[in-house]
A = this chain, B = another copy of it.
Amino acid sequence: MPNLPSSVDIFEEGPREGFQIEKGPISTARKIEFIDAVARTGLKHIITVSFVNPKLVPGMADAEAVVAGLTMQPGVTYTGLWLNEQGLHRAIATGRLAIFGSLSASTSPRFLKRNQNRTPEEHLAAQDSILEVYKAKNIPIDRAIIAAAFGSNFDGDVTEGEVVALVQQLVDQANRHDLRLKSVVLADTMAWGTPLAVKRTVGAVQDRFPELDIVLHLHDTRGMGIANAFAGLEMGVSQFDSSVAGLGGCPFAGHAGAAGNVCTEDLVFMCHEMGVETGVDLEQLIDCARLAEDVVGHPLPGSVMRGGSLNKLRESLTHAA
């Protein structure tokens, strides 16, 4: 039988990935209501907003107002996302977010060009300048993110060796700035991953970088999200990004089939049923998933919010007996 971790840390991506892709408009008040509800479930890490160009991502134009309106729960780390120094300064200026730096690389040059209009070399160089800002401000560098770690729609398949080489590149870059990386995020950005690929790639990164924690960021476009998470658990991975209700893309709303992250409550359900602790109250989380559907105004792909938890059934059986 597999040796699963005794507990996992979950990084809730729903507000950021969800509210930036939804057609909306979703009011600032409802975003705050949702994030506040999520923060009461026991989830300890919430990526609340992204500080990006409001002309390009209108759903995030109210990022500062959302952060300002939150009722901060003790013990919960609230963070945000940015892609450049301007975004970083906006995040710092809120005065309410935990600020962690990150480095990233993409397996797919064409994806990088399309998304950030940079070559891989230009991307590395651009990071050198923000790394100096992190260093000057004593901001810890938390994550090395490998985008499209399992393949991409623009450059196709990816080998474990390519992923290991990119992680090495980011470790080297951090070292050049006297910075230490803590974790590497293997992001299945375009949902090319399978459980077998997860096992192979995680194994290769673990072998080469035993000092780095591995985080899995798994999109569910082809229905492999939970299976890929299980494969990660079997490899001892204990950190996962996920989205309440599967926020972040809706296969039923014509987003060309791209789905959000693996669904948080489905992941929590699987973990609990297998004896892996998450610290999360699943029933409250299911309520949040239903709230998410209400906020966005259409069905979201989560399963457990429809099927219901087993503990609730177990309780009703105990009462009936």
Contact = CB atoms under 8 A, between A and B. Distances in A.
Contact of A223 (B2, B192, B222, B302): B302
Nearest to A223: B303
A227 interface: yes
Interface stretch (A49-57, A74-82, A310-318): A310-318
Stoichiometry, as copies per complex, reads 2
A155 B318 CA distance: 10
B251 A303 contact: yes
A303 B230 contact: no
Nearest to A275: B196
A223 B4 contact: no
A266 B222 contact: yes
B194 A270 contact: yes
Contacts of A199: 1-2
A152 B192 CA distance: 34
A46 to B, nearest CB: 22
B314 A222 contact: no
Given A270-B227, A299-B252, A259 B307 contact: yes
A162 interface: no
A274 B157 contact: no
Contact of A156 (B156, B229, B314): B314
Contacts of A176: none
B257 A223 contact: no
A58 interface: no
A241 interface: no
9 contacts: A1-B199, A4-B196, A192-B310, A194-B273, A221-B303, A221-B307, A223-B302, A224-B303, A230-B230
Interface of A: 1-2, 4, 151, 153-157, 191-192, 194-197, 199-200, 203, 220-224, 226-227, 229-231, 251-252, 257-259, 263, 266, 269-270, 273-275, 299, 302-304, 306-308, 310, 313-314, 317
The 10 closest A-B pairs by CB, nearest first: A223-B303, A257-B306, A221-B307, A227-B227, A196-B274, A223-B266, A251-B306, A222-B307, A194-B273, A227-B230
